[in-house]
Structure 1
């Protein structure tokens, strides 16, 4: 059984128009949300075997904050260029190249690609993932190469605002 957690980067800052898209940092809320979601993953016992991140600053920071909460070595995060601008199909194809040594993988990236990939892999229309949203998908396979579109089972969709008190 393989398990993929697609994680959209946390809320980013837009206050410096001189920064390129790749260089936008997280804002204060984004940093808090990433740490919070990481603590939820730890509480659920969903520590990763591997974390793969987009090279964009906001995605890398989200990955590092979550890694710190789940006890994953921040220096072991794999930076994958294809996650930055990859659409749903490209991200689904990337999943098929993951190492079979890893049972549970976090993939930290961006919309619309992650939302499209989640829908492709589960065969369900999950809509737009919110910032720092997590879609957990199970695949009844022994090899990532055997992951097929529509064959994943949605375990959960979670995001920070879901945990706010009314």
Structure 2
């Protein structure tokens, strides 16, 4: 059995003239990430491995969640191929996970996050919002073999406000 926890990065700012990978989070994004992370820490088992996109907004969101989950920040695996908006890089990263890992958490970008949630989960989402979390469980022993899974949980910031 494999459990995948997918997280869309928090709301980012377009206010600064920086490269897309360097965009920071907005204050609202930081607050929403803390809100969801605090809730998730009580609702899920801490993942064994966490992957994050290289983008600042994904890493900052990941840092907020790792504090709530008491997961060591230095253990985060930063994956360049997860700086992906279609989903193929995200799926490739997930399928590359060591099969000894039962629970994997990933921090990425839309449309990839929504596409993966809808392709692999049992619940359809028009859009996974910023700071949104979807947990999918798979009846397999190998990450390479994930296909249709069961959506166990979804937590969106609006659900907690």
What is the TM-score when the length of structure 1 is the normalising length? 0.91
* Displacement over 4 Å in runs of 4+: none
C-alpha displacement at 1:125, in angstroms? 3.0
- Summarize the alignment of residues 1-166 of structure 1 with structure 2, pairs less than 5 Å apart: 1-16=1-16, 18-122=17-121, 124-148=123-147, 151-164=148-161
Q: Is the 8 A contact 1:87 1:117 kept in 2?
A: no
C-alpha displacement at 1:85, in angstroms? 1.8
C-alpha displacement at 1:102, in angstroms? 1.5
Matched residue SS, 1:11? coil
Task: Count matched residues.
Answer: 161
Which residues of structure 1 form unaligned runs of 5+? none
1:117-136 per-position Cα deviation (integer Å, ceiling 9, x unaligned): 11111265322110000111
C-alpha displacement at 1:161, in angstroms? 1.3
Q: Is the 8 A contact 1:88 1:120 kept in 2?
A: no
Matched residue SS, 1:32? helix
1:85-116 per-position Cα deviation (integer Å, ceiling 9, x unaligned): 25224422332211112111111000011111
Cα RMSD over matched residues?
1.4
